[in-house]
Structures are given as C-alpha cells and as structure tokens.
C-alpha cells in the first residue's frame, strides 16, 4: 500500500505517511500529486476539485500539504466574508506579517496583486505555492472579478502559484457569462459501501475485537445506507450507538459471535435513531442519556409546536388558515347561514381535484380574513386597533406572511404559514372543528 | 565542454524525466512564449507595424485585439513586444503601462496604477498621492504637455477591455482615446477582449474617438494543423542536455501523433473546441502520467485524459447520491413529465413517492417526512434543484416551488450506472405513469 504513491522530489518517508493517512483515497491522492509535480516545477494555474460532502477533498489536500511541507495557505470562503480577509491571509502565510501590513484599509484586488508581485520578486518561489479555497461555491457571491482573477492568478502575479478550489457543486455552475480561464477539473468519487465499511471499522473500540466492531458497522450501514452516505454523519451515529450494541455482551446475555441476537437488539434502536438523532430532533447528549429510559420517549425539538396565543389571535389564525386553503368561491357555502342552493356537481369542479394541501397556501386579502374571522368567532367583536395589531404581530411571529410588499396599508395580502397539525391543535383549544370547514376534507 | 561531447553525455533516466517535466510544464502551465507563432503572421505583422509607428515616429494609435478565449491574444501581444524590444530605439523610448480589467475594477484604481507604472513625480516609492481628480488632472497635464517630437511614447495595454467599458462614464477610456486623437504625447492604446460586440459597449463619444482598427484572432486551424501543433507542443527542444533521449522522445511523440486512437481523441477535442488552452489541459493530464517507470506517453494516456476532460460532472455527482435522494429525483422527473416542466414542491414530490410505495407495497423505503425533507435539502445544496422564485424566506420549506436542473437522459443514464440500483426503482423510472 505504501508503494502506491511515488513521485520524485519528495521524501519517501513522508509519502508513506501520507498514504497511511488516506485510506481508500490513494488513487485520487496519487493523481493530485502527479498533477502537482515536483515542488520546484510549475503546476497548472488552477485546480478545481469537486465531490460529495465528506468525500475527503479537504482531507486529502490538507494531508498532502502538511506532510510534504509545501508552502500553502488554506482559506475557508465561509470565513472570508470580504476579499480583504482573503488577501491578508494569503500574504500573511506566504510572506509574513510585513507584507500583510502593507495592504491598505480596504484593499482592492489590484493592491493585492501589486504587493504579491513586489514580495515575490524579493522572495521568489522555490516551490509551488498553493492557495486552497474551501467551499469555493461562495466565491460566486463575492465580487464578480474575484473568481476569474483567482483562476489566472499565476499569470497575473507571475509567480509559481496554484489555486486549488474545493467544492460540492459542479464547475458548470461557476462559469461566469463572459467566460474565464478554465481550471483543471478533478473528481473525487463517493465512497462505496465497502470503502465506507473499511474506513468506519478503523476506529474500533479497544476492548472489543475488530470483527465485532465491523459486524456492528455492517448492521449500521444496513439501516442508514439507503438514506445517508455522509461519512461524518455515519461515524457520529456509529460512535453514539455502539454502547447500546455491546449492552447484551456486557450483561452476559449474548456472546460476541451471536450476530443475530445482537442484530435483533440493535435494529429497532437504530430505526429510532434515524427519526430522532439523525434529524437532530434530540441532541447527542440527550440521546446518550436516554439509554436508561425508553429511547424516543423524550419529546424532540419539533414536538414543541404548541404556542400559547390570545383568544382572538387563535381565531385570526384559524381564519387565515381557512382563507389560505379554501378557494374563495366556497366561502359562501361554509360561512353563510342562508346561502342559496349550491349543486354538489357544480360545487366540486373537476380541475380542482388536486388537493390544496399539496399546492400550499394561497394568498388572500385582509377583507376576506376579517369576514371569515367574524363568521367563525361567536361573539361580536369590534374591529379595534388591537385586532389589527394582532394580525401584524402574527406576521412578526412568522405564523402569517405578508405577500405583496407594494401596498402596506391598503389591502395587504397574507398567507398562512402554519401546518395542519399546528392549526388543529389550536382549534381544539377553542373547541372549533376545523376539518369540517376545510374544502380538501369534504 | 565541446558541443559534440555534450551530445554524447547521457543523463540517468530519472534526471531526463525531471527535465522533461520541467520544460513541458513551463510550456503548458506557465504559457511560455514559443519561438515562433503559427497561423497569425498577418496579424503579427500588422501589430508590429502599428506599434513601431508609435514608438519610432510618435504616431498615436488605438487598436483592439478581439478573439475567443484561449485564442492567443496575450501571446500575440507578448511576442510583438518581444520583437519590438530587440529594436534599441524602441527599447530606449517606449514606456509601457499594463492594465487588466479584472484588477483595475474602477477608474480610480486604474489611474493610480498608471501613475505608478509611469513613475510620475507624485509617486514616492510605491505610494501615489492625491485624490482622483488631482491624479487625473496631473496625468492629463503630463500627457498634454508633451508633443510628438520630444516626449516619449506610451503604450497602454488594456487586458479584458470589455470590463473597462463598464466603468462609470467610461472616463478612463474617453481620456485615453482623446489623447490618442489629439496631437499630444504619442500614445498607443491596445485593448484585448473576447467580446465581439465590444464596440457596442462604448459610449458614442468614446467610440468616435476610437480608430476602429480591430485585429481579429479567429482560429482557422484545420485538423492536420491541429495535430501538428500537438506534436510541436510535446516535442523537446534541441538544447536538451541528453541528445539520445531527445531523439527517442521526439520519435515517440511522432509515432504517437500518427496513432489511430490518439487521432480519434484529438478529433473529438477538435470538434468540441479549437481553443488551444483546452488542448494544453489535455496534454498536461497526459504529461502528469509520465514517470521514471513509464518514460513515454502512450495512447492509453490520451484516452484516459480525454475521458476525465470530457466526463459529465453532473453524472459524477448523481452517482454519489443515496437511494432515497435518487427516488426523489425520479419522482421529480415524473412530475416534470406529467405537468410539463411546471415547478413543484416537496409535498408533491412526497405524494408521488408515496404513490410508488403504495403500488410496490413494500415498506423498505418508508421514510418519514423529515427524513425526506433532509434528503430534499441536500439535493438543493448540490444545486440539482433550484428554487423557482427567489422568495425563499417567505414560504414554508415544504411548499417552496422548485425546478429540477437535470434533464431526462441524464437521469436515465445515472440510473444505469448507479451501483446496485434496485430493480423496482429502474422500472419505476421507465414507466411513464406511476
């Protein structure tokens, strides 16, 4: 395995260390290394590495840079909210603080290139310098000139420098409309199931045998593999649930080799984990504490949907929900006592077969909301300022949303932004049967 | 050491390979200037004449070099400047100012850069003093004071010229062209751009001051010429230390270029673009496979390199999705088919997916809504689906309208290539009405 990476110009010992640290990524690392060439040779001006989340993009690049001791700087585009931070970091790590201090207060890319040229003429590169940009998709939101300039930085600063972009998104979505210097594309494929198993089995528990742990990983992948291929997530789940898996062994109820027994024990537990801890409903700490209690007995984050509201606010929200999910022409039938005869055939139009709960809420004007509100609320309510302020406070609570921004005062339109479960719970508290008034459930 | 002796010297193979990498990498990546340009002799001559007239006779000129990306605009200019620098009179006389539209993003920065590059007297060390207006007045003054006979000519090179046209009021372009029009200090303005409609971007007053001289660099390469270029790019120069190795290498390159499969690969690339830079990328990928253990480029290298160049990135990404995400994509595809490309939301996708599950009546993929939502959001992060309208914060997540960014054939191909794809999924994808 150690012989897979060979590239003249580098220390063999460190190459061996590199390949040890990169399980299942020797091929990609070797390709990257051969593209980088020897340290003093020129490398392609920009490389673009793409692949799924946790397919080892940053890891491979970082390990190569660290172990081979190449001059490099790693920049996360999430952190660099302005280009100035990026420039400062690059200059700082290549030329020290003096160079970074030369940047003016709000540096343009021109300043950066000028200082870089100045410095690199004093300290010319003996080795290729690498600028690694993580989460490069955020560069698209930055200044329009930044990405094209970075891609041809080698030409602009006339130094042996290579920009490595790492991203989850394919290059086609990066290309500016007037074009740019095309980087060399490199794909990191996803780990296969076997490779995932191999990597996950590496962090095995010291007090148990390796086969035992790898059979556990096998079961874990069996449950989660259809949903999640993210190595980090799987590793986290594996670490969380392992203690549950060894419980029967520790209690002496089963031996390490009795796989079927162990599987029967862990499988429902893992299924529950998918609904809770995988969705971050329950935090990892809570999940570990739950071991003693019944798993899932704890109410997760999303179970706390109950909100205390004033009486009229509740009815306003109910009215908004009805206005959002019922077509306006059915209002007469639902809310007028003495409506005329409406034929059933006429009433159910054919093209409205698709449920409104599938299409989402529709906007409605304020007048309609108030009309429905007066019809569902039993007592007489005066349209006071408090009613209107409750409507606007429902908007700030994000239970309603204001649709059109153009007229704030005059006939605003709203949408209801709560789910059916939420509104049924609310209507239960005020003894209102909302399902009876919903067009979809007729 | 005599020349004959040098030819006889044999280096160990490792050093030879190192040298090959050093020379070819410099050629491919660093865009080292070739000794002679091919195919652009007329343009070259035109530009040399023009710049010579500015440098020697003090004539003011403006010219635009227009061509697609990777067509060799910068190379042409650089080789012209190299030729001019051999003329001593020009070398003594001509001042050069290089600006790039990517770097000098507004006129203020550009002006400072000009002042800096001309070493004018308000520059101390590397710093420029004065406000924008002062700088401009100063520069114009300096340019106006000069006349044809006495002052040194200045060459302005504006790379990415079209970006300069987006500056406010096009002040810089106006002033440069204005100086080149009126009899003041002799200047030559050379713009490099890849936009054919660049003149439409100029304001009327700027356009009228421009000389309307354009040099077009449109590739008129035929396929045999293309192959010949590949050969020259890969061949080693004669001053390589080991003579025997050069002969072997060059012979190997010559046979390589006649190889049938290599020709196929090159033709495919030639048909997709005549852009020279994409060819260099291909060659770079081939070169990276050359090592001591394998000291020649083989046709298999070319095939591999072209495969990785032409690979569909979107398909690569689809390959790594989980089964659930793939299910959702198939459901979206069906929705697209049924509703003719109307945008959809998560509820509809889930509903479509549920229909499939009911029909199959196995509970293997029976996931809860939040798990599906997570998969849906992952697809959105990968930009395989994108919001149909930009009002993201206003609607609930499950009702936000989305569009699928994949086409039918991509999905079907991805399904074919997907490792261990369940058969019922494949059937579902092919059946028109689920």
Q: Report the complex ipTM.
A: 0.90
Helix (H, G, I), strand (E, B) or coil at A174: coil
Q: How confident is the model at residue B433 (pLDDT cuts 50, 70, 90)?
A: low
- Write out the H or E segment, with its range, that includes residue A338: none
Radius of gyration of chain A (CA): 31
Please tell me the distance from the alpha carbon of residue B303 to that of residue B312, in angstroms, as a whole number.
15
Which of helix, strand or coil describes residue B380? helix
Query: Between residues 340 and 359 of chain A, which touch chain B (CB distance below 8 Å)?
Result: 357-359
CA distance A324 to chain B (A): 12
- Residue of B288, B292, B370 with shortest CB distance to A8: B292
Beta strands in B194-243 (DSSP E): 214-216
Query: H or E segment at A48?
Result: strand A46-51
Q: Which residues of B touch A419 (CB under 8 A)?
A: 396
Selected for mutation to probe chain B from A10, A39, A41 (highest B CB count within 10 Å) is A41
What SS3 state is found at A265?
helix
- Is residue A402 classed as helix, strand or coil in its secondary structure? strand
Q: Do A417 and B102 touch (CB under 8 A)?
A: no
Beta carbons of B317 and A143 less than 8 Å apart: no
Please report the residues numbered 215 through 274 in chain B whose beta carbons come closer than 8 angstroms to any beta carbon of chain A.
none
Is A69 in the B-facing interface, judged by CB distances under 8 Å?
no
Secondary structure of A92-129 as H, E, C letters: HHHHCHHHHHCCCCCCCHHHHHHHHHHHHHHCCCCCCE
Helix, strand or coil, per DSSP, at residue A12: helix
Q: How confident is the model at residue B118 (pLDDT cuts 50, 70, 90)?
A: confident
What are the residues facing B385 on neighbouring strands? Answer: B404
The closest CB to that of A189, out of B316, B345, B347, belongs to B316
- Residue B424 distance to chain A (closest CA, Å): 15
Kind plus residue range of the DSSP H or E element containing A381: none
pLDDT at residue B203 tops 80: yes
Cβ burial, residue B359 (10 Å; 0-12/13-18/19+): exposed
Which residues sit opposite B203 in a β-bridge? Answer: none
In this complex, the residue of B126, B289, B308 whose CB is nearest that of residue A34 is B289
Residue B389 CA to residue B342 CA, distance in Å, equals: 12
Cβ distance A112 to A87 under 8 Å? yes
Assess whether pLDDT exceeds 70 at residue B152. yes
pLDDT of residue A131: 94
Sign for the pseudo-dihedral over CA of A175, A176, A178, A181:
negative
Please tell me the distance from the alpha carbon of residue A274 to that of residue A255, in angstroms, as a whole number. 27
CA dihedral A56, A60, A63, A69 (to 10 degrees): -150
Partners of A162 in beta bridges: A130
Could you give the percent of chain A with pLDDT greater than 90? 34
Instruction: Tell me: pLDDT of B6 over 50.
Output: no
Instruction: State residue B188 phi and psi, 5-degree precision.
Output: -120, 130
A contact residues 280-309, partner B, Cβ 8 Å cutoff: 281, 302
Instruction: Note whether A65 and A33 are within 8 A (CB).
Output: no
Looking at chain B, how many residues does it have?
Answer: 434
**What angle, 0 to 180 degrees and rounded to 10, lies between the N-to-C axes of helices B223-234 and B276-287?**
40
d(CA B41, CA A34): 37
pLDDT in tens, A233-261: 999 889 888 888 888 888 888 887 888 88
pTM of the complete model: 0.90
State how beta strands B123-124 and B127-128 pair: antiparallel
Q: What percentage of chain A exceeds 70 in pLDDT?
A: 90
Q: Is B250 exposed, middle or buried (0-12, 13-18, 19+ CB in 10 A)?
A: middle
Q: Which of B281, B288, B371 sits opposite A34 (nearest CB)?
A: B288
Cα–Cα dist B147/B83, whole Å: 26
CA distance B419 to chain A (A): 9
Interface probe, candidates B17, B22, B28, B30, chain A, greatest A C-beta count within 10 A: B30
Contact list, B21 vs chain A (CB under 8 Å): 37-38, 41
Q: Are A185 and B313 an interchain contact pair (Cβ–Cβ within 8 Å)?
A: yes
DSSP class of A41? S
Mean pLDDT for all residues in chain B: 85
What proportion of chain B, given as a percentage, has pLDDT over 90?
29
- pLDDT band with cut points at 50, 70 and 90 for residue B9: low
């Amino acid at each position: 395995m150690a012989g897979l990476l060979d590239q003249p110009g580098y220390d063999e010992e460190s190459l061996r260390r590199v390949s040890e640290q990169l399980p299942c990524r020797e091929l990609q690392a070797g390709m990257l290394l051969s593209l980088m060439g020897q340290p003093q040779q020129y490398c392609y001006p920009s490389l673009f590495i793409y692949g799924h989340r946790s397919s080892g993009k940053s890891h491979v690049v970082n390990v190569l840079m660290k172990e081979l001791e190449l001059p490099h700087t790693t920049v996360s585009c999430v952190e660099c909210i302005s280009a100035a931070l990026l420039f400062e970091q690059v200059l700082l790590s290549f030329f020290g603080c003096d160079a970074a201090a030369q940047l003016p207060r709000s540096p343009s890319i021109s300043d950066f290139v000028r200082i870089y040229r100045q410095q690199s003429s004093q300290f010319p590169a003996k080795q290729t310098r690498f600028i690694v940009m993580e989460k490069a998709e955020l560069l698209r939101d930055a200044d329009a000139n930044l990405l094209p300039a970075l891609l041809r930085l080698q030409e602009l600063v006339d130094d042996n420098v290579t920009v490595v972009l790492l991203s989850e998104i394919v290059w086609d979505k990066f290309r500016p409309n007037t074009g740019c210097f095309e980087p060399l594309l490199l794909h990191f494929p996803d780990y296969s199931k076997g490779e995932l198993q191999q990597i996950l089995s590496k962090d095995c528990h010291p007090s148990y045998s390796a086969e035992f742990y790898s059979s556990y990983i096998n079961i874990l992948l069996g449950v989660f593999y259809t949903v999640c291929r993210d190595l980090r997530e799987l590793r986290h789940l594996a670490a969380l649930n392992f203690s549950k898996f060894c419980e029967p062994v520790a209690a002496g109820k089963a031996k390490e080799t009795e796989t079927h027994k162990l599987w029967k024990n862990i499988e429902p537990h893992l299924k529950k984990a998918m609904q809770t801890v995988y969705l971050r409903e329950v935090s990892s700490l809570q999940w570990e504490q739950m071991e003693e209690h019944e798993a899932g007995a704890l109410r997760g984050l999303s179970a706390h949907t109950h909100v205390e509201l004033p009486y009229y606010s509740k009815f306003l929200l109910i009215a908004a929900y009805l206005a959002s999910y019922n077509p306006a022409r059915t209002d007469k039938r639902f809310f007028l006592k003495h409506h005329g005869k409406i034929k059933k055939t006429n009433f159910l139009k054919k093209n409205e077969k698709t449920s409104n709960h599938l299409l989402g809420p529709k906007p409605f004007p304020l007048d309609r909301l108030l009309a429905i509100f007066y019809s569902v609320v039993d007592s007489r309510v005066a349209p006071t300022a408090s009613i209107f302020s409750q409507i606007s406070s429902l908007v700030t609570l994000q239970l309603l949303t204001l649709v059109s921004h153009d007229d704030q005062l005059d006939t605003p339109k709203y949408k209801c932004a709560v789910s059916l479960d939420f509104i049924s719970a609310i209507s239960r508290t005020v003894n209102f049967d909302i399902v009876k008034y919903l067009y979809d459930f007729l | 050491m005599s020349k004959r002796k040098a030819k006889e010297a044999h280096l160990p193979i490792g050093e030879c390979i190192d040298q090959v990498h050093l020379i070819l990498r410099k050629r491919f990546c660093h865009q080292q200037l070739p000794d002679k340009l091919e195919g652009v002799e007329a343009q070259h001559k035109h530009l040399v004449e023009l710049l010579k007239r500015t440098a020697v006779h003090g004539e003011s000129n403006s010219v635009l070099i227009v061509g697609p990306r990777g067509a060799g605009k910068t190379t042409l200019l650089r080789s012209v400047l190299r030729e001019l620098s051999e003329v001593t009179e020009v070398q003594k006389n001509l001042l050069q100012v290089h600006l790039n539209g990517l770097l000098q993003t507004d006129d203020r920065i550009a002006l400072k850069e000009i002042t800096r590059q001309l070493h004018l007297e308000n520059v101390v060390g590397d710093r420029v003093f004065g406000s924008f207006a002062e700088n401009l007045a100063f520069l114009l003054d300096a340019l106006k004071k000069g006349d044809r006979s006495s002052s040194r000519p200045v060459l302005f090179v504006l790379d990415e010229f079209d970006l300069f046209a987006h500056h406010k009021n096009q002040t810089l372009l106006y002033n440069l062209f204005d100086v080149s029009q009126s009899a003041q200090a002799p200047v030559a303005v050379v713009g490099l751009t890849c936009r054919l409609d660049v003149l439409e971007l100029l304001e009327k007053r700027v356009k009228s001051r421009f000389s309307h001289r354009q040099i077009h660099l449109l590739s008129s390469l035929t396929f045999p010429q293309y192959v010949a270029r590949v050969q020259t790019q890969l061949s080693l120069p004669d001053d390589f230390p080991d003579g025997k190795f050069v002969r072997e290498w060059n012979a190997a390159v010559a046979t390589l270029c006649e190889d049938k499969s290599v020709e196929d690969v090159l033709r495919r690339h030639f048909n997709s673009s005549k852009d020279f830079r994409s060819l260099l990328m291909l060659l770079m990928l081939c070169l990276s496979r050359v090592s001591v253990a394998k000291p020649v480029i083989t046709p298999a290298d070319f095939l591999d390199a072209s495969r990785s160049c032409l690979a569909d990135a979107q398909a690569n990404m689809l390959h790594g999705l989980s089964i659930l995400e793939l299910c959702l994509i198939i459901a979206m595809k069906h929705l697209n088919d049924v509703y003719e490309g109307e945008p959809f939301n998560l509820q509809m996708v889930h509903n479509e997916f549920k229909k499939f599950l009911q029909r199959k009546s196995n509970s293997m993929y029976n996931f809860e809504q939040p798990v599906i939502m997570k998969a849906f959001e992952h697809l959105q992060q990968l930009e395989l689906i994108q919001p149909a309208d930009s009002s993201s914060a206003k609607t609930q997540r499950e009702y936000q309208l989305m569009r699928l960014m994949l086409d039918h054939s991509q999905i079907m191909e991805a399904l074919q290539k997907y490792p261990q794809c369940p058969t019922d999924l494949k059937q579902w994808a092919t059946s028109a009405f689920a």
